[in-house]
Amino acid sequence: MARRPSRPDVKNFAINRQARYLYHLLEKFETGIELTGTEVKSIREGEANLKDSYAVARGGEIWMIGCHISPYTAGSCFNHDPLRERRLLLRRQEIDKLTGQTQEKGLTLIPIRLYLKGNLIKCEIALAKGKKVYDRRETERRRTIDRETEQAIREHRGRHR
């Protein structure tokens, strides 16, 4: 039996499931994220939500807005604000590229997931273009057709065994 190549230890803490439904994801970037101690502990407990979050280029930096990280349960008066803006850590070339594309082409930066890579919490963002209503309907229609086809194939195979 062949062994799979070993992957680095990656654990997802929060995934923005709505992003694939509402946007065409064009290009993905792995970024670091500037967090406080209680935010890290809260994320490790799975208390992060990316649902209505987005990223903005401001002052030569990329900022994540709208990401909700619940206050740490064992934190005291030093707990963080759940909806504070958090700086994303990228290389200067990537920041310049993303800034240009969001301003010129009208694209948006959407956080896709928060995950643990090695010992660091990373954020995956995507350069995205909003889908129109008819695009969403077409995606849903295609998904339904694929699901029905898979089900028919499984039933057909089950009958002939």
pLDDT in tens, 119-130: 889 999 999 888
- Give the global pTM: 0.73
CATH topology of domain 10-130: Small Protein B; Chain: A; (2.40.280)
The b-or-e profile of 65-98 (16+ CB within 10 A means b, else e) is bebebbebeeeeeebbeeeeebebebeeeebeeb
Domain ranges in the chain are: 10-130, 132-161
Distance set, CA 141 to CA 36, 43, 128, 131, 154 (Å):
43, 35, 21, 15, 20
Write out pLDDT tens, residues 51-97: 889 999 888 899 999 988 888 888 777 788 888 898 999 999 988 98
Write out pLDDT tens, residues 135-148: 788 888 988 999 99
Q: Is 18 helix (H, G, I), strand (E, B) or coil?
A: helix
What residue type is assigned to position 133 of the chain?
A: V
pLDDT at residue 3 is higher than 60: no
CA 8 to CA 5: how far, in whole Å?
10
- Residue 121 is encoded by which pair of tokens? 């919490």
- Residue 161 is encoded by which pair of tokens? 């065994």
Q: N- to C-terminal Cα distance for the chain?
A: 25
Give the residue with greater pLDDT, 160 vs 60.
60
Instruction: Identify the pLDDT of residue 112.
Output: 93
Q: What share of the chain is helix, strand, coil (3-state, %, to 5)?
A: 35, 35, 30
